[in-house]
Amino acid sequence: MMSDNITDQFESAIRKALSYFEQRLEQQDSFQIQNNLLKELQQKVKKWGYCNSQEIKDLSLEYENFHKTLSESGRSYENIVEEKNLVDTYSAFEKFLSDCFYSIYLFFPKYLGEKITVSTHDLFIGGDIELCKKNIIELEVKSFIQANHIIEIVSSFKKKFSIKKIESSISKDDLNILYEISLIRNLITHNNSIVNRVYIEQVKNFLKNKAKYEFHEGETVLGKLENLTQDMKDISTKVCEKIAEAIINDSNRLKNHHENM
């Protein structure tokens, strides 16, 4: 029998995962503000006649030249910042989901099933059983997250652990937008932010041509990145809060079911 303290530790782990996600988003906001301030500072310095300093004038002109060169290449400094913001925000969201699955398996390992993959090094060479457990869970979670899209991942809380409230508390529209953004994240990461046939077909098959953001094959997503990033932050925050709340509220049932498996 597990001690009652297990549920307290488990709930603390879920809250910690949510707190880390929120911290990552705060860092992204600070990064964006810092870049905006840098641009504003350069413009103010130029307006004020470079503060009567040749050194500041040279630095300001160098900044302008690099900004112009980068913009002429097809991707501006602002584009790159927004690409990073979107990718990092989605990564923080995925990390939260991974942390939730990891915590469930760590505290209630019977959910892993009867058969697991153990590396020879962990079992025979490393000799650290706790590290071995950690590696088993991380491999399971990583493989699952990488093999499934966001809608399947969220629905798996119900399928794998019978946490029913998660799926019912998150709107289908929010999940569709998160899925759409995940496809755009893939374009940024793997296709220089250019819309390709794979993206068009995925939108057609999974979203039935009801995507919020309309793109055509061959164009870039750069012009809509700011709005995409804001949607990602708003919706992922709402979804993460609902997932954390549902898991915590179901912690006693998870423990009791685990004990009787």
| Overall pTM > 0.75 | yes
Exposure on the CB side of residue 105, measured as CA atoms within 13 A: 23
Q: Which parts of 162-250 fold into alpha helices (H)? A: 164-169, 172-190, 197-207, 225-249
**pLDDT at position 187:** 97
Helix (H) or strand (E) holding 46: helix 5-47
Report the C-alpha gap between 53 and 177 in whole angstroms.
49
Residue 194: φ, ψ to 5°: -100, 130
Report the C-alpha gap between 249 and 153 in whole angstroms.
19
Please list the ranges in the chain whose pLDDT falls under 70: 1-4, 122-127
**pLDDT at position 126:** 66
**pLDDT at position 1:** 39
**pLDDT at position 16:** 98
What amino acid is encoded at 249 in this protein? N
Report the C-alpha gap between 52 and 88 in whole angstroms.
40
Report the C-alpha gap between 186 and 169 in whole angstroms.
27
Other Cβ atoms less than 10 A from the Cβ of 65: the count is 10
Please answer whether residues 184 and 86 qualify as being in contact, where contact means their C-beta atoms are separated by less than 8 angstroms.
Answer: yes
Fill in the DSSP letter of residue 160: H
Residues in a beta bridge with 194: 220
Exposure on the CB side of residue 96, measured as CA atoms within 13 A: 28
